Structure 1
C-alpha cells in the first residue's frame, strides 16, 4: 500500500480549507444580507407622515394664537392615519398636538399645518384661497402644489421623499423655516 505524498496531503487538506473558508464567507455574506433586509424600512406613507410631524418643530409661527397645535388634513388619507398615531399624546412648543380631519372653511384659520393629499386635489384651490394670507403651513403631495400657491410639496423621486419648499409662499405669511429643514429640501424662490 502506497502512502500519499506529503505534498498531496497538504494540497488535499488545503483544498478542504479553501472550500470551508469559501463556504464560511458565503454564509457570512448571506447573513449580512439577511440583517440588512431586517433593517427597518419606511414606506412612502410613513415618511410623509413623519415629515408632517417634524414640520411642527422646524417651522416658526409669528405668534402662539391658540392653546393647542392643530394639524388639519383632508379625507382621512393613509398619511393622516399614521400622523394621528405619531402625534398621540405629543406636545410641540409646550402645546398639545391635535388633528382635525376634513376641516370646514370656517375652521381653517385655527390650523397651524394643513395637509391636502393628492386624492383631494379638487379642494386645493379653495383651501389655498381661504388661507393664502394667514400664517398656516400648507403641505401636499400634489405634483405642482408649490406653483399653485402651496408652501411645501412632499416630492417622491422614486427612492426617497424630499420636501420642495416654495420660499416666497412661506415668507409672505410670516412663517420662518429652520435652516436644518432648508438644507435637506429643494428650495424654490
Structure 2
C-alpha cells in the first residue's frame, strides 16, 4: 500500500500545501487489516506525513487522499462509493475479487503464493491522479465492467 501512495501524484488542490498530511482511509471492515495499515501512520510520502483513518460513511471521503476497501467490507460498500472517490481524486485500492472490475483503481489479486496487483486505467484516467509508469510496468491491466 505504501508504494502505491509513493507512486501516485495528486493534483495540487488535493494537497494544498507542501507539508499537508496525506490521509489513507480504510473503509470499515477487517480490524486486523486496518491495524496493519495504521502502522504506516507517520511515514513520509513526498514530504507529506501519512495519517490513517477508519471511515464508514460516504460523506467522510472528503478527508481522504487514498481509500482502501478490504474484502471483508466489500458487501457493506454503498453504491457509488468508488465513483464518488474517483470524482474527488482519491486513489482506491482493494483486495476483493473483482474490485477493479467494479470501478476500483488498484486491485490486489492472489497469483499462486504471491500477491500481485491490477490497474483499472479507465478509473485512473477519469480522476486527476497520475500513477507512475513504474506501476503500469509492474501491474497488469484490468477490465472494468460496463456498470460499476
TM-score, normalised via structure 1 length: 0.66
Cα RMSD (Å) of the superposition? 1.8
Aligned-pair distance for 1:149?
A: 1.0
Residue in structure 1 matched with residue 108 of structure 2 by the alignment: 154
Q: Could you give the per-residue CA deviations for residues 136-175 of structure 1, whole angstroms, max 9, x where no partner exists?
A: 0111111111111111100011221111100110111011
Residue in structure 1 matched with residue 11 of structure 2 by the alignment: 62
Structure 2: runs of 5+ lacking an equivalent: 144-148
How many residues are aligned here?
137
Q: Classify the secondary structure of the residue corresponding to 2:108.
A: strand
Higher helix residue share: 1
**More contact order relative to length (CA 8 Å, sep ≥ 6):** 2
TM-score, normalised via structure 2 length: 0.83
Q: Which stretch has the larger CA shift, 135-144 or 57-66? A: 57-66
Residue in structure 1 matched with residue 146 of structure 2 by the alignment: none
Specify the structure having the higher radius of gyration (Cα).
Answer: 1
The answer on whether the counterparts of 1:76 and 1:102 sit within 8 Å (CA) in structure 2 is no
Partners of 2:10 and 2:103 in 1: CA distance: 18
Q: 2:57 aligns with which of 104, 108, 112?
A: 104
Higher strand residue share: 2
Q: Does 1:142 align with 2:96?
A: yes
Partners of 2:74 and 2:83 in 1: CA distance: 14
